[in-house]
Amino acid sequence: MDITGGCLCGAVRYAVTVEQATAHVCHCRDCQRFTGTAFATLVAVPKDAVTINGAIKTFSSPGGSGQPLLRHFCPECGSSLAEESPSRRPGWLILNVGTFDDPARVMPVRQTFCDDALPWVALSDDIQCFAKRAS
């Protein structure tokens, strides 16, 4: 599967080819704040398979595990593009599906941090839901 995407202003573009792209939804408060919405929809891809054109800025903060989580965004328009967890998932980049050129190409298969989900968010009952992190 070829995935292309980028930020709102077009200053940052990315491309990656993966065999399969499995999406998940994260309801944690950090993802809500980083994306500026009710949840983040994410796809993990091998970092070395991603080509990024344009400058990105990175903010580091503790993730749900307490370990550093690197959040990448466009320094021009502020679009949240991706995250990295070097301690939990070294070698992987977690792309924000909202930045895909065609976000409808992936369907979430699980939800995490459902305890933090906003009460008015109702996703399909077919999507497995975990109170915190998926096991």
Domains of the chain by residue range: 2-129
Structure tokens at 5: 């995407």
Per-residue pLDDT of the chain (135 residues; tens, 9 = 90+): 999 999 999 999 999 999 888 899 999 888 898 888 999 999 999 999 999 999 999 999 887 667 889 999 999 999 999 999 988 889 999 999 999 999 999 999 999 999 999 999 888 888 888 888 765
The residue ranges of DSSP E strands in the chain, in sequence order, are: 2-6, 13-17, 23-26, 40-46, 50-53, 57-62, 68-73, 80-84, 92-96, 108-112, 128-129
Cβ atoms within 10 A of the Cβ of 23, count? 19
Q: Where does 2-129 sit in CATH, by number? A: 3.90.1590.10
